[in-house]
Amino acid sequence: DSGVTQTPKHLITATGQRVTLRCSPRSGDLSVYWYQQSLDQGLQFLIQYYNGEERAKGNILERFSAQQFPDLHSELNLSSLELGDSALYFCASSVAWGAANEQFFGPGTRLTVL
Amino acid sequence: TQLLEQSPQFLSIQEGENLTVYCNSSSVFSSLQWYRQEPGEGPVLLVTVVTGGEVKKLKRLTFQFGDARKDSSLHITAAQPGDTGLYLCAGDFLRVGNQFYFGTGTSLTVIP
């Protein structure tokens, strides 16, 4: 158990819909990262927040957005869903914001878009 | 185009054999990490290397960072079925700022 929690574990929805994925970082960690993992693309970095502020942005689509709240939990919002958005979405947390810091990954949310 | 290429993509070996997995890039890493991921779970950090030429050992696993900080290898001695999993290298690059990239992954199966 990494100490990072993600909900829900599974999510099945239809194309065009909007979903919200939630992540609670380890106690004491200020940085949260979001990743998308699919069979053909591997693990792709989406976005990082540190203490409520966006720190780095990767290959995140405009249909996707995220935020980190004052209690440090984070949400990833996916809208106008397409079949290709089906993937595992991981959240990770670390103490600080530098990439060399150890990232602890949550169990992931498996999103299926039908 | 992947910034980090791993090879081989798939590897199936017998228990007790040795193996090496490679992670290569045309760009210089600021730091590099190796993770292992089991089915249905998130990746778990194995090691972080920062200095060119650095070698780190973790029981039967030996990690090496290239002198030029563009490549890395993971060597497993006397592989065991418990080593089965997806091995991922990940790093940040000097020219790209604070983004973090994962390699394509090596899926290892150790047959008892």
Nearest CB to A105 within list B42, B48, B50: B42
Cβ contact A99–B45 (<8 Å)? no
Cβ contact B42–A55 (<8 Å)? no
Nearest CB to A58 within list B48, B90, B99: B99
Kindly report the backbone phi and psi dihedral angles of residue A84, in degrees, each rounded to the nearest multiple of 5, phi listed first: -70, -10
How far CA B16 is from CA of B13, B19, B56, B80, in Å, comes to 9, 10, 21, 6
pLDDT confidence band for B104 (50 / 70 / 90): confident
Report pLDDT digits (tens) over A13-49. Answer: 999 999 999 999 999 999 999 999 987 778 898 999 9
Kindly report the backbone phi and psi dihedral angles of residue A97, in degrees, each rounded to the nearest multiple of 5, phi listed first: -105, -10
Residue B45: which residues within 8 A CB-CB, separation 6 or more? A102, A103, A104, B33, B34, B35
pLDDT tops 60 at residue A12: yes
pLDDT at B15: 97
C-alpha to C-alpha distance for A110 and A97, rounded to whole angstroms: 26
C-alpha to C-alpha distance for A21 and A8, rounded to whole angstroms: 7
Q: Is A45 on the interface with B (CB under 8 A)?
A: yes
Cβ contact B98–A99 (<8 Å)? yes
Give the position of tokens 């970095």. Answer: A45
Cβ contact A43–B44 (<8 Å)? no
Percent of chain B with pLDDT over 90: 71
How far CA B27 is from CA of B5, B32, B70, B101, in Å, comes to 11, 12, 6, 12
Residue B1: which residues within 8 A CB-CB, separation 6 or more? none
Q: Is A114 on the interface with B (CB under 8 A)?
A: no
Nearest to A90 by CA among A112, A105, A73: A105
Mean pLDDT of all residues in chain A? 92
Report pLDDT digits (tens) over B1-40. Answer: 567 899 999 999 999 999 999 999 988 888 889 999 998 8
